[in-house]
């Protein structure tokens, strides 16, 4: 089970997540987020983190030029597209050699039907919350995600949306995804991680 800790805003939290067993870290480069970090201010220390850890830049509706620039920053392993990016945009991004995952907001069963080709195998299933692009702390019916995983064995599905220390093991047993993604569920407050919650969450996810 792969675990991504998202909404990292500082080096201490990044290092604590890595020490606790995280496989990937997420950095929010969307200015509208409560966990926004300026790429120029964090790029140096992100580049100092272990190469074995995926460093994911979370972006929302960037231009193609912006996405390519961010994807080529030192230390950044790939992007997580969390907005309304089109299949054509994703195709061009792939042609530019940028790795990325596409986030899909889930409200009901129709949210995951007849998906267009987004030129990636990796999808993040997140809860749909008005005015928010991830980090809402809200869950969605995990049975929808479980059905999607079973129907798409060739895709790498990452489960997000309201995961906590208390519910992650159950969620992963139901859904059986490729990975788990958490933001608010391991925070003391928006943008600051609780290091004990980090350890407990990652241990619970890995043991599921």
The 10s digit of each residue's pLDDT in 143-174 is: 999 999 999 999 999 999 999 999 999 999 99
Catalytic-labelled residue, pool 6, 23, 90, 181: 6
Q: What's the pLDDT tens digit per position in 42-52?
A: 988 999 999 99
Q: What is the pTM of this model?
A: 0.94
From first CA to last CA, the distance across the chain in angstroms is 8
23 labelled catalytic: no
90 part of the active site: no
Q: What are phi and psi of 28, to 5 degrees?
A: -90, 110
The mean pLDDT of 175-190, rounded to a whole number, is 96
Contact 126, 161 (CB under 8 A): yes
Q: Are the CB atoms for 204 and 168 separated by under 8 Å?
A: yes
Mean pLDDT for 68-94 is: 96
**Residue that wins the pLDDT comparison between 130 and 138:** 138
Report helix, strand or coil for 117.
coil
Catalytic one among 13, 23, 90, 126? Answer: 126
* pLDDT (0 to 100) of residue 132: 52
User: What pLDDT, on the 0 to 100 scale, is given for residue 110?
Assistant: 86
Q: What does the angle CA 80 – CA 168 – CA 155 come to, to the nearest 5 degrees?
A: 45
């Amino acid at each position: 089970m792969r675990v991504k800790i998202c909404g990292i805003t500082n080096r201490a939290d990044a290092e604590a997540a890595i020490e606790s067993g995280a496989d990937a870290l997420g950095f929010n480069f969307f200015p509208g987020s409560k966990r926004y970090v300026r790429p120029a201010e964090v790029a140096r220390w992100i580049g100092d983190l272990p190469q074995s850890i995926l460093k994911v830049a979370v972006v929302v509706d960037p231009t193609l030029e912006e996405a390519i620039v961010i994807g080529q920053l030192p230390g950044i392993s790939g992007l997580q597209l969390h907005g309304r990016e089109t299949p054509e945009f994703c195709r061009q991004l792939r042609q530019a050699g940028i790795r990325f995952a596409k986030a899909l907001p889930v409200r009901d069963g129709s949210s995951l039907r007849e998906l267009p080709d987004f030129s990636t195998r990796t999808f993040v299933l997140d809860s749909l919350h008005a005015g928010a692009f991830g980090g809402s702390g809200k869950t969605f019916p995990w049975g929808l995600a479980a059905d999607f995983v079973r129907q798409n064995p060739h895709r790498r599905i990452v489960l997000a949306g309201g995961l906590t220390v208390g519910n992650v093991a159950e969620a992963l047993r139901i859904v059986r995804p490729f990975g788990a993604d958490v933001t608010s569920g391991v925070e003391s407050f928006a943008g600051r991680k609780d290091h004990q919650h980090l350890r407990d969450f990652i241990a619970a996810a890995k043991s599921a």
